[in-house]
Copies of this chain bind each other. A is one copy, B any other.
Amino acid sequence: MTLEDQELKKVGLKVTVPRIKILQILENCLNRHMTAEDIYQALRDAGEDVGIATVYRVLTQFEAAGLIERHNFDNGPAVYEIDRGEHHDHMVCTESGKVIEFHDAEIEKLQERIAAKNGYQLVGHNLVLYVKPLT
């Protein structure tokens, strides 16, 4: 019974090969932000015979279970990353495509204040900074 097995059980999903493999890939990948296609390719590279439909289904379940987060940068395909419970936002370099994570408590508070000022309660947000290297 590996750690991955336990994580799956805990969220009420049956322990199956595709789920274990996908969870491992997301936990160990160098590139923390992978598309469904990236994951599909990683599976095939590892010799696993998993369909792309299963990849999407599993990712959807993982997201619903809070194991991973899904992001939509601009208009490209969605990217997924393990949810380690440390909330952060993203910075995307427009020249290299590199993704940098950051967290800023002040910006988080400001958002709540802005929502409140308009008579709302903040339930989530999406912040992406598009940047380029300083000359």
Q: Does A6 contact B (CB under 8 A)?
A: no
Q: Which of B100, B102, B106, B120 contacts A131 (CB 8 A)?
A: B120
The answer to whether B126 touches A128 (Cβ under 8 A) is: yes
Q: A5-64: which residues lie under 8 A (CB-CB) from chain B?
A: none
Copies of this protein chain in the complex: 2
A65 touches B (CB below 8 Å): no
Determine if B127 and A126 form an interchain contact, defined as CB atoms under 8 angstroms apart: yes
A125 within 8 A of B: yes
A72-B72, A75-B72 known; A114+B104 contact, CB < 8 A: yes
Q: Other CB < 8 Å A-B pairs besides A119-B134, A127-B128, 20 of them?
A: A74-B126, A91-B115, A91-B118, A93-B120, A102-B118, A104-B110, A115-B129, A115-B131, A120-B129, A120-B131, A120-B132, A120-B133, A120-B134, A121-B131, A121-B135, A122-B129, A125-B127, A125-B129, A125-B130, A126-B128
